[in-house]
Structure 1
Amino acid sequence: MNHPQTVLLLPGQGAQRERMAAGLYGVHKEFTAAMTDFFDALGPEGDRLAAQWLRPAPNPRLGEAHIAQPLLLGVGFALGRAVSASHAPPGLLLGHSVGELAAACLAGVFRQADLGRLAAARTRVLGDDGRGGMLAVATPLSGLPLDMYPVVVAAVNGPRQTVLAGPLDALEHVDGLLRAAGHTTLRLRSDRAFHSPSMAGAARRLAHEVAALRPAPARSPLISTRTALPLLDRQAVDATFWADQLALPVRYWPALSSLLDASGTDPGLLLLDADPSRSLSAPARRHPAVRAGTTRVVPLLAPPRSTGGPADAEIFEQAVESIEEAITRNTRAVSRR
């Protein structure tokens, strides 16, 4: 069918919010079932994780990797299931950091029954590796200091959105240099320097855990933010490909911009942003395809101050209606041709 292709954007570390998407829990059948199964699969740890998820703000522990990482994985997967049940499976999946693992689960690379095992493994292998933090900088790569070692570029999130990672003392030093140079910075909620070489040991340990899950070729199209290209079958079944993601930079903007560059004419895309802060779609809003209206941005959750309450269900239903309206419009346009 010739209609705007839905692209589900799933967030990673730093995007977690108190009670994120909890307003759908007990309201949306498929979302509730997916989250319940996820927590059940984690046993007693699932009960503790659920309590942290449902705790109102402020919750300083939400910056701890062993809490944020599994929650982002579980919520991302559950939102994908909710979208699929309410309309149809997304045409494309694009996940940032641990959001890419959620996308892989939705695509069938990992079985739903193994979602809990994957979350537990990714948390278990961390140990003391990568202790540090992450820093968002409103500047392109070319605007960064040439010598930041041991701080490294952890993610390219937009034309002027870069994330750095490293030990806290070094990160604070670089933060001071950037602010003195007039750059805007923001510390992300993370107690680890994800996507930096300091995570290499954890990545090696994770490879053994992932291999035991026997990943399969994806059944749905997935654009990898590790390569900024469509996921290949040989990559999907390679445990090291998924494990090394911990220590390698996230190429989110190159992945998303390649889709936007190809969507300049009708029917365009519908970008479904699963981040309450809308950060995943923020860099796309200045792209010509979005400014021209051929590609549209549709939030799935209420903004941070409202997420976790009734507004989540309201925003989600509006998103479903937007998808259905876009499909109807394009189906009529095709019939008139």
Structure 2
Amino acid sequence: GDRILAVVRGTASNQDGHTVNISTPSLSAQTAVYQSALATAGVDARSVGMVEAHGTGTSVGDPIEYTSLSRVYGVESPCALTSVKTNLGHAQSASGTLGLIKAVLALQHGVVPPNLHFTRLPDELADIDTKLFVPQAITEWPASGQQPRRAAVSSYGVSGTNAHAILEQAPATPTTFADHDGGAEPAAAASLLFPISSTSADELRRTAGRLADWVHAHDDVALPDLAYTLARRRAPRPVRTAVIASSQPELTAALREVAAGDSPYEAAVGRDDRGPVWVFSGQGSQWAAMGAQLLATEPVFAAMVAQIEPVIARECGFSVTDAMSSPQIVTGIDRVQPTLFTMQVALAATLKEYGVLPGAVIGHSLGEAAAAVVAGALSLEDGLRVICRRSRLMSRIAGAGAMASVELPAKQVLSELAVRSIKDVVVAVVASPQSTVIGGATETVRELVAAWEQRDVMAREIAVDVASHSPQVNPILDELTDALAELNPMTPDVPFYSATQFDPREQPVCDARYWVNNLRNMVR
């Protein structure tokens, strides 16, 4: 994750209001802004060990600021009082930012730097009863063990605006892969993606070569940290590619291959900022333990599955987490479809967490439910209603009909069905310009497959529970309409291309009628 330098516990700002003149600060307003920031932060002033003051060094402003600070900080315990203006002078509008940076560094290193050129307090301030002190040498700031180090930072505007922030030492960072004995990486980090980009193909090759040299020279490099930095901490340039590796030698070799290539993976080089099109698959794309590794290694993926788990348990009566983790492939249409939906939605959430956003989405058959959720056309709750109730009704007609794939254009298949006067089989899916899926009565489907095979046309029956997108699903369509009557369709956030409607460019309205058509109509 992000490297946290410090925690901003609370901030506050106010205005001096009416004063003697514009250059005279308000002691009461300054005191009030300190107390307001402390209240917002929820911390006691006694826990603040350093105050980075505005400290302009003026005979009017400094006594007022010192007096106001003494009323809040250093009342019972010592508190260092500093100002970065002794190092750099007044940076005008950037002075508050510099003070913040100085305070963060002090919190990080446990050291308060000295105030340059300070010798003693003016007589009118020396008599104030306070434990505030101005460090004249480097001062150690050890952690107490009971609470983190805390610092306060002030910045004032010439027109009377006062700002105050309470900072806290950053929390302890978790152990990284590189912290393991011998620098070895755990097995869970098997393969990682390393994206690289540049302004041209030639520059991309040079970038890959330089990175390969650097990786080769650093035996202790933590590959997960490098992959994270390349993916999240480098602005992508127009020409891009990526390599996959699980070890330092493998990464070095892959980068050198890019550097030496005549064309650096030209097919994988992106030149468009519109984002990738996400395609959501239909039934048959499941495999054993398909979510096990992601559940163990990707927190966002696991959190999304945990959010979905109780809904599927209530609607379908099984644990989708167990189904995705099981060494046995999930079976049964009422389990397969909700499991695939969960896998797709959780993968989408994970990709978004890594900064990968879709330029458009499209789904195949049941995949349209997950696509609709990711596009924003349906809420997650409504998407779950669609997939759970659809699959539950389909399980009641399991065994109805058959489906087969044939390497023929859809128009030719339709022509052959018409010539043979076949009414109980239809074109279910236009898979590609040269590939078609038919569905309908089992015996008729098998007769067609046999006839095509005799002509040396590639054809095979597909293992399915139900012949979707055919008349075999007609008995459950009215019930599906009723089950989805309460859906609340929304306008998609990204383009959602429909595989159900005749014109895929027409924006779908994902109501009950749409999902009935999604189950019954041809996928194209």
* TM score, norm. by length of structure 1: 0.66
Structural RMSD (CA) = 2.4
Give 1:250 shift.
0.2
Name the structure 2 match of 1:132: 401
1:30 aligns with 2:305: no
Secondary structure at the aligned position of 1:135 is classed as: strand
Aligned partner of 1:214 among 483, 488, 503: 488
Distance 2:318 2:275 in 1: 37
Distance 1:22 1:143 in 2: 43
CA separation of 1:216 and 1:138: change in aligned 2, threshold 3 A: same
Deviations 1:132-182 (A, max 9, x none): 222122221244333343121110111112111123222222211121121
Aligned partner of 2:313 among 22, 43, 68: 43
Distance 1:34 1:46 in 2: 19
Deviations 1:105-151 (A, max 9, x none): 11222212334333221123323277122212222124433334312
Name the structure 2 match of 1:184: 458
Name the structure 1 match of 2:509: 236
- Say which is worse superposed, 162-171 or 35-44, in terms of deviation: 35-44
**Contact 2:398 2:465 survives alignment (8 Å):** no
Deviations 1:213-239 (A, max 9, x none): 22222222100001242342xx42532
Give 1:240 shift.
0.3
**Contact 2:487 2:511 survives alignment (8 Å):** no
Highest RCO, 1 vs 2 (Cα 8 Å, sep ≥ 6): 1
1:198 aligns with 2:198: no
1:120 aligns with 2:388: yes
Letter paired with 2:431: N
Give 1:21 shift.
4.3
CA separation of 1:65 and 1:93: change in aligned 2, threshold 3 A: same
Give 1:103 shift.
0.4
Distance 1:237 1:159 in 2: 27
Letter paired with 1:82: T
Secondary structure at the aligned position of 2:361 is classed as: strand
Name the structure 2 match of 1:155: 429
Name the structure 2 match of 1:19: 289
Name the structure 2 match of 1:5: 275
CA separation of 1:86 and 1:159: change in aligned 2, threshold 3 A: same
Deviations 1:260-303 (A, max 9, x none): xxxxxxxxxxxxxxxxxxxxxxxxxxxxxxxxxxxxxxxxxxxx
Distance 1:132 1:47 in 2: 26
Deviations 1:61-99 (A, max 9, x none): 62x321222122221222222222212320100100010
**Contact 1:140 1:161 survives alignment (8 Å):** yes
Q: Number of aligned pairs?
A: 246
Name the structure 1 match of 2:212: none
**Contact 1:9 1:93 survives alignment (8 Å):** yes
**Contact 1:129 1:201 survives alignment (8 Å):** no
Letter paired with 1:210: L
Give 1:26 shift.
2.0
Distance 1:12 1:154 in 2: 13
Distance 1:231 1:121 in 2: 26
Letter paired with 1:9: V
List runs of 5+ in structure 1 lacking aligned partners: 252-337
Give the share of equivalent positions with the same residue, in percent. Answer: 26
Give 1:245 shift.
1.0
Secondary structure at the aligned position of 1:229 is classed as: coil
Secondary structure at the aligned position of 1:125 is classed as: helix
Letter paired with 2:386: L
1:99 aligns with 2:370: no
Give 1:4 shift.
5.1
Name the structure 1 match of 2:352: 84
**Contact 1:200 1:244 survives alignment (8 Å):** no
Letter paired with 1:31: F
1:74 aligns with 2:345: no
CA separation of 1:237 and 1:95: change in aligned 2, threshold 3 A: closer
**Contact 1:7 1:93 survives alignment (8 Å):** yes
Distance 1:50 1:101 in 2: 19
Letter paired with 2:505: P
**Contact 1:202 1:246 survives alignment (8 Å):** no
Deviations 1:284-324 (A, max 9, x none): xxxxxxxxxxxxxxxxxxxxxxxxxxxxxxxxxxxxxxxxx
Distance 2:475 2:489 in 1: 21
Distance 2:317 2:305 in 1: 10
CA separation of 1:21 and 1:43: change in aligned 2, threshold 3 A: closer
Secondary structure at the aligned position of 1:240 is classed as: helix
1:245 aligns with 2:496: no
**Contact 1:13 1:98 survives alignment (8 Å):** yes
**Contact 1:199 1:247 survives alignment (8 Å):** yes
List runs of 5+ in structure 2 lacking aligned partners: 1-237, 239-271
Deviations 1:187-234 (A, max 9, x none): 3331101011221332332222222122222222100001242342xx
Distance 1:195 1:90 in 2: 27
